[in-house]
Structure 1
Amino acid sequence: MPLNQHYDVVIIGAGPAGTACALALQGSGLRVALVDRKQFPRDKICGDAIPSPALKAIRQLSQAWYDELFELTTKAETRNSRLVAPNGTEIVVQWKARTFNSPRLHFDQHLLSMVKRHTKTEVLENFGVKRLEISAQQATVFPSAQAAPLTAALVIGCDGANSVVARQLTNRTLDRTRQCAAVRAYFTGLSESDEQTSEFFFLDEYRSGYFWIFPVGQGVFNVGFGMLSAQIAARKLDLKQVLRHLTQTHPRLATRFAQAKQLSDIQGFGLPLGGVQRPISGARFLLAGDAAALIDPLQGHGIDKAVQSGILAAQQAVRCFQTHDFSAAQLFEYDRQVQTHIGKKLARSYHLMHFLSAKAWLVNGAFRFGRHPLIKNLLLKAVG
């Protein structure tokens, strides 16, 4: 039972967007609650890559917090990305900025522990949200369990791709052309792999997607495959079967998995792609992270955008309290900030992904010419 059932801000969802938002509100003087339907540590099914922009965003809040993230024991500090074209042409990229891969079971727990230790945020786990009501005076959050509702001046929805906040407070519908689906499992014992290299395989038989091998520390690898939901539906693909087939029969992959041991079941997840402007705010509410559909269409990850948008949401919350204005018009400034700092790049990524997805020959050519340092730098700028 919450100690105080009225807050200035209620953040729904304690993943990277929600925890970044809570960290960014530290020192604001606002009464903040961070709620999540799960008890941490909890697994979050994804590729487990933690891009350097996510870490840089935390660094802008606090150098000490940034340093603390690298104290994670279960991680692989990645230095390289190996990209393989459909015809087998390779590009190896050496990254200058520090980054790592870490199972979300551990990474998200670490972020939440930072919120508990460094802020006055009240954290409520096992707090599922059933519905929300918005009035002129406040937002009311009704829990799914038998408990008293929470009230707040502002609600920030950071509750993922299946966001309750987004479903109830916006008119969002499923668009398979703006949706990806993916599957992943953990393996050990892969050959020709190392803890410093993340690998991406673009396959002629499965366009508009890629297969990945990401080290996550202690000899474990996150192995997965994802592609556009529209293509999955059109071809009636079972992605779990596709992943098994690739690891067992693909000429560039099967030998590497010959002695591998699968540590977990194959599990699936959805990815709402960014690149189109959607309503992500309204009277007394904001959306951030996957709830705001901020997944990069080209790279397939969203943790950096989640952290960045969570911080932008915190900044908007402070502006609302400074002006005592929680209207849709005031909160639309957040939409503009997200579009400026995040949305424009996602739109470019979506158009580039759509352009390349049906043109394996063009991908092969880009990889061939991409070996030239100048062309490689241009490609890196295009994909981030």
Structure 2
Amino acid sequence: MLPPATFLPEYDVAIVGAGPAGTACALALRGRGYRVILLDKAIFPRDKICGDAIPGPALKALRQLDPAYMEALWQLHPRDDVRRSRLVAPGGGSLYLHWKLPTFNSPRLNFDAALLALVRQHTTTEVRENAALKNVEITADCARLMLADGRQLTSRLVVGCDGAQSVVGRRLLPEPRLARAHHCAGVRAYFENVGGSESGTTEFFFSRSHLAGYLWLFPVGAGRYNVGLGMLSELVSQHKIDLRQLLLDNLATHPALAGRFAGARQLGPVRGFGLPIGGGRQRPASGARFLLCGDAASLIDPLQGHGIDLAIRSGILAAGQVSLCLEKQDFSAEFMARYDADLQQQLGPQLARSYRLMRLLGTRPWLMNVGVSLARLPGLGRWAQRLVG
């Protein structure tokens, strides 16, 4: 009698989610000879509710993979090249911070589609859109993925890059939800004809009405602005805050904004979103035959609210762990824990510092006022810039 045939999964790697984390993982696996599939429930281009700021470290990480990626993204349109940020304290004082790394703002509708186009152009990854994941199971031989349309596929391991409501995370890490102290809520709308705004400058407005959060105004090119408001979910719940109404009220009454929106035109509705922030007690980002990246791993900066750079960096780290697993043929939870250690070493200190600073400044508006005043003194501006990252 012949021995039973060895089971061979269809793919070596299944990446769920084609946002910045998933596309970065696919790009980092380029040229390694693996059978990679990238799944997403949407059809691109698709919108993603976000501030649309593309942090410099995100572009730097992609450039380190291949300078051609950076060159292609720099051709995006619409786009607004960012040189500085203006911080407005609750007391009205302003501080300008100048950024060292090249960066820009661009709607996620365009940016994420451009990243996926890079995957199609530069890798042999199989891209499958309109492929919502319904369930995932880990067996001794593979990760088995069940799609909403009834199809199934198998892979040696799965990388969950499927956002804050990650199906991979929920199915494989059935732990209680993060506390509201480690979750933020936000709203966003697009406007045009905003008065007093300047291309190349992002603006952050702090107020007593939205402690542990801020209102933002980001130019995104073509005369349009991403305008939003975010704060800790625990405060939204505790004070029963209607974020949509609070945003519109602030645009009409905030001392630094009143009048600037008198002739503005809102483009579409105010839309809401929620995100788990890092820096607190983190649940594992890995287990037997799976890894989590980006929002799925709660990698959102608590102070500035950005996550694209952390998503891209975690996707690249995940690709490194994937390669080690396939090389050693070790997909155990113990071996996967190396990825958690890498995340903690490279991203953990930044997230922990940002969380502590957010909690400190967010509940003490006077401290923000004092900080902005001191930072405007000669020699202290660089200190302020280092403090906020």
What range describes the TM-score normalised by the shorter chain of this pair?
over 0.9
Shift of 1:251: 2.6
2:73, 2:169 → 1: CA distance?
30
Hey, what does 2:254 align to over in structure 1?
Answer: 250
2:255, 2:86 → 1: CA distance?
17
List per-residue Cα deviations over 1:242-300 (Å, max 9, x = no partner).
Answer: 11111122232120000000011000011110013320000000000000000000000
Hey, what does 2:59 align to over in structure 1?
Answer: 55
List per-residue Cα deviations over 1:20-54 (Å, max 9, x = no partner).
Answer: 00000001111000000000000000100000000
Selected match of 1:118 from 103, 116, 122: 122
Hey, what does 2:4 align to over in structure 1?
Answer: none
Shift of 1:205: 2.1
Selected match of 1:158 from 151, 158, 161: 161
Hey, what does 1:14 align to over in structure 2?
Answer: 18
Shift of 1:357: 1.1
Residue type of the partner of 1:304? Answer: D
Shift of 1:314: 0.3
Question: Is residue 285 from structure 1 mapped to residue 290 from structure 2 by the alignment?
Answer: yes
Task: Give the TM-score taking structure 2 as reference length.
Answer: 0.96
Residue type of the partner of 1:59? Answer: R
1:51, 1:156 → 2: CA distance?
23
- Contact map agreement 1:186 1:262 (CA 8 A) in 2: yes
Selected match of 2:75 from 56, 65, 71: 71
- Contact map agreement 1:54 1:303 (CA 8 A) in 2: yes
> 5 Å matches for 1:1-384?
6-147=10-151, 149-170=152-173, 171-276=175-280, 277-384=282-389
Q: Point out the more displaced range, 44-53 or 350-359.
A: 350-359
Distance 1:258 1:112, change over 3 A: same
List per-residue Cα deviations over 1:293-323 (Å, max 9, x = no partner).
Answer: 0000000010000000000000000010111
Distance 1:289 1:373, change over 3 A: farther
- Contact map agreement 1:275 1:348 (CA 8 A) in 2: yes
RMSD: 1.1
Distance 1:172 1:310, change over 3 A: farther
SS at match of 1:268: strand
List per-residue Cα deviations over 1:36-85 (Å, max 9, x = no partner).
Answer: 00000000001000000000000110011111110102110011100100
Hey, what does 2:5 align to over in structure 1?
Answer: none
2:288, 2:377 → 1: CA distance?
51
2:61, 2:54 → 1: CA distance?
12
Residue type of the partner of 2:96? Answer: V
1:275, 1:324 → 2: CA distance?
32
1:80, 1:299 → 2: CA distance?
14
Residue type of the partner of 2:287? Answer: G
Q: Point out the more displaced range, 125-134 or 248-257.
A: 248-257
Shift of 1:374: 2.9
SS at match of 1:257: coil
Q: Point out the more displaced range, 355-364 or 122-131.
A: 355-364
Residue type of the partner of 1:282? Answer: G
SS at match of 1:115: helix
- Contact map agreement 1:166 1:172 (CA 8 A) in 2: no
2:155, 2:27 → 1: CA distance?
18
Shift of 1:379: 2.0
SS at match of 2:212: strand
SS at match of 2:259: helix
2:377, 2:176 → 1: CA distance?
43
2:11, 2:258 → 1: CA distance?
54
- Contact map agreement 2:92 2:255 (CA 8 A) in 1: no
SS at match of 1:255: coil
Task: Give the TM-score taking structure 1 as reference length.
Answer: 0.97
Shift of 1:172: 4.4
Shift of 1:98: 0.7
